[in-house]
Structure 1
Amino acid sequence: MSADPWPWPADTQLDRARRIAQSYREALLALDAAKCMNLDDRARELGQAWVVPELVTIDENEMLSATDAAALVGVNRSTLYRWVDAGHLVAIYRTNKQRPLFRSGDVLNAAAVQRRRRAARAAR
């Protein structure tokens, strides 16, 4: 069995598919910008805005709901709660009855740690 030639060993199958889709998008943009923009609009209409690159400025101290925090790093809310249970992420409760909030910088760090762990496992 040969080694996996993929240059980003921490990527999940979804990450790989997204990178490939982005490379096709970039090629289409270079060949036919108008067609690419039309397809971008259609992707947004279908709720797939991830296809279109977007510059995002993040305040690392912003407090996010579980839904927003999960969307920030492209995981399910259940994954965030697993990270909390494992001690990789802190959920902040302002009162006992309130839903948890997550500091955006902590969420980004937890996602980076998980990516490095996947890379280390893939390198073995």
Structure 2
Amino acid sequence: MSDDPWPWPGDSPLDRARRVARTYREALLRDAPETCAELDDRCRELGQSWVVPKPLTFGQDDLLDADEVADMCDVRPGTVRQWRRRGLPTVDTVDGVRYRVADVLAYHADRRIRRANMAVNPDMTRDS
């Protein structure tokens, strides 16, 4: 068993950093909403829109292109294509490759579960 007190064992280092940043942002929003709004705007200007929570505006069965998935997940489109090579399901349409929202969410959930299992049992390999 790990001595790591982090309550979400499936989080990557980036996930951890984002959770910490969002916790600080929530406190700032509560205590100084105007300052938080100014910093949110500045973060967006610098291309760091992930800091500001955004509601999921797509339905589970909506089909998105790589750019839309990247925006939804706060990653680059190249990362989405990498996920595809690693097993993210796709749908071929007349407009090209699309990703079903439910498949993207399930893919992320599976990755978190795998990382959590690796944290509990570091001797596990990807093939086990």
TM-score where L is the length of structure 2: 0.79
Alignment partner for residue 119 of structure 2, among 115, 119, 122? 122
Match runs of 1:1-124 below 5 Å:
3-86=3-86, 88-95=87-94, 99-124=96-121
In structure 1, stretches of 5+ residues that fail to align are: none
In structure 2, the gaps of 5 or more residues are 122-128
Q: Using the alignment, how far apart are the partners of 2:24 and 2:41 within structure 1? A: 16
CA distance in 2, matches of 1:57, 1:34: 26
Q: Matched residues in 2 for 1:83 and 1:31: separation?
A: 39
Structure 1: 4+ residue segments shifted above 6 A: none
What's the RMSD between the two structures over aligned residues?
2.1
Q: Quote the offset at 1:73 in angstroms.
A: 3.1
Deviation at 1:82, TM superposition (A): 4.7
TM-score, normalized by length of structure 1?
A: 0.81
- Contact 1:61–1:103 (CA under 8 A) maintained in structure 2: yes
Q: Give the whole-Å Cα distance in 2 for the aligned partners of 1:71 and 1:117.
A: 24
User: Percent identity of the aligned residues?
Assistant: 44
SS at the partner of 2:91? coil
Equivalenced residue count is: 120
